[in-house]
Amino acid sequence: MRRAHTVQQVRAAEAERMALLPEGALMAAAAHGLARAVAAFLGGTYGRRVVLLVGSGDNGGDALHAGAGLARDGAWVEAWLLSDRPHAAGLAALRRAGGRVREHGALPTSVPPDRVPDVVVDGIVGIGGRPGLRDEARAALAVLAGVPVVAVDVPSGVDVDTGETPGPHVVADLTVTFGTLKPAHLLDPASAACGAVELVDLGLGLPAAPVEALGAADVAALLPVPGGRDHKYTRGVVGVRSGSATYPGAGLLSVAGAACGLAGMVRYVGDSAVADRVREAHPEVVGAGRVQAWVVGSGGGAAAGEELAAAVADGVPVLVDADALAHVPDLDRSTGAPLVLTPHAGEAASLLGVERADVEARMLTHARDAAARHDAVVLLKGRRTVVAAPDGRVRVNTTGTPWLGTAGAGDVLGGLTGALLAAGLDPFDAASVGAWLHGAAAVLVSRGGPIVAGQVAGAVADVVRGLPGRS
């Protein structure tokens, strides 16, 4: 499990750690890790040209001390000071190591072609900085445009705790962070500005993290696996109420996701013409009967509201997608049926009465808002899908490929997640594991090329076989 902690949590943990260590030891450890990461990024240090963009505070100090280490190892290092209050000890260390310094207010407006650096180290602002960049920082970045960037802790200018990017910010090729991940490393849009993320362990004692990301071992531990006494009913029966005469493919793809093998049986209830096509494509799928979870809404059209009400009346967990989402605010929730809502940004915007662009800019905020408002687990789909529980817990899915942006992919995801609900996972785990498997299956079947949604459903079994502990 990858865990991301807030600025307040990190600051408190750092303070506890520093109280047990000699003065400056924590910064020295961070700077050493940063210098090693930059050296690895460059493929060596001797003769390499490094420019440090240095703000005030400890983030600039990390950059300066790392620059000193790189200079001692043979790199040409120059610090561009973006503040008149740079970290004094770090600046002294860089000068002792032979590094050069461009004073605040005297930064170059261009770089000669023969002096273009091999890398820029972004030490402008750290995790305590406000979103956005000051004019001087923007000007320095413009002069160095096109040069690879290594960010110190987070790309300067992003909102660390929310992953939002409301103003100008650094776009890094590599981010070297310290102690723990921060939400901005996982959440879009900020995560897209981080590049690869490398964690330097500082031995911090940290509390429970508000944002997590599953890994393969976590999925393997959560995934329901049948035992010797299980049969099709004990493994879970998932019902699908999706598709229509207008959108029969949505029903077929929802069933394909549900029939990935993670539940013991799939039932289809819906348009008779769609049911005929479902039976042709999936002869193992049966008709109406008792279920442990429902999947409702994909391609359901005008009937989606009625299908949703019927599913919720059963009192079992219900995954709500697409056309059924609009009916959630008016639902009778008296049966206590747990809900998993799976909107994309546009559907979430309609649920919340905001603009789609605002949802995409503030994924964490809106996923949590929707979860609390509708007392449901919300799986907000995107490049980095956000799964939020009503109590505020969040997981971010990091599997997938851009090729997964294809028609019907969400229908498969809904069916797959419904199967996990029927198999016994609670809604938060089912949504998290479903998103992970869906993305991993897309990567597996894509192999770097285009895919269609039906291929994703067919690849889930191979992903499960490849999980740790499987043979």
Judge whether 344 is annotated as a binding position: yes
- CA-to-CA distance for 360 and 244, rounded, in angstroms? 29
DSSP-derived pairing of the beta strands 237-241 and 293-296: parallel
- CA-to-CA distance for 266 and 276, rounded, in angstroms? 15
Element (H, E) at 433: helix 427-446
- Please report, for residues 221, 227, 387, 417, the alpha-carbon distance to residue 257 in angstroms, rounded to integers and kept in the order given: 21, 22, 19, 8
In our burial notation (b when 16+ CB lie closer than 10 A, e otherwise), range 205-237 reads eeeebbbbbbeeebbbebbbeeeeeeeeeebbb
Contact status, residue 421 vs residue 376, Cβ threshold 8 Å: no
- CA-to-CA distance for 188 and 337, rounded, in angstroms? 31
Place of tokens 């809502």: 341
| Residue type present at position 342 | T
Judge whether 129 is annotated as a binding position: yes
End-to-end CA distance of the chain: 22
Contact partners, residue 173, CB within 8 Å, separation at least 6:
41, 148, 149, 150, 195, 196
Judge whether 57 is annotated as a binding position: no
Judge whether 261 is annotated as a binding position: no
Judge whether 335 is annotated as a binding position: no
Assigned token pair, 2: 């990858």
- CA-to-CA distance for 281 and 271, rounded, in angstroms? 15
- CA-to-CA distance for 127 and 159, rounded, in angstroms? 8
Judge whether 299 is annotated as a binding position: yes
Judge whether 384 is annotated as a binding position: yes
Distance of CA 296 to the CA centre of its chain: 25
Judge whether 60 is annotated as a binding position: yes
Strands (E), 103-170: 119-123, 149-152
Judge whether 102 is annotated as a binding position: no
Judge whether 61 is annotated as a binding position: yes
Judge whether 397 is annotated as a binding position: no
Judge whether 132 is annotated as a binding position: yes
- CA-to-CA distance for 213 and 124, rounded, in angstroms? 28
Assigned token pair, 25: 């030891």
| Residue type present at position 49 | R
Judge whether 381 is annotated as a binding position: yes
Judge whether 62 is annotated as a binding position: yes
Judge whether 301 is annotated as a binding position: no
Q: How many CB atoms lie within 10 A of CB 447?
A: 9
Judge whether 232 is annotated as a binding position: no
Judge whether 250 is annotated as a binding position: yes
Residue from 319, 355, 310, 324 nearest 338 by CA: 319
- CA-to-CA distance for 137 and 153, rounded, in angstroms? 17
Judge whether 153 is annotated as a binding position: yes
| Residue type present at position 421 | L
Judge whether 410 is annotated as a binding position: yes
- CA-to-CA distance for 254 and 385, rounded, in angstroms? 19
Q: DSSP secondary structure string, 47-74?
A: T-EEEEEE-SHHHHHHHHHHHHHHHHTT
Residue numbers in the known binding site for K(+) are 59, 122, 156
Residue numbers in the known binding site are 58-62, 122, 126-132, 153, 156, 250, 299, 344, 381-385, 410-411
Residue numbers in the known binding site for AMP are 381-385, 410
Residue numbers in the known binding site for (6S)-NADPHX are 58-62, 126-132, 153, 250, 299, 344, 411
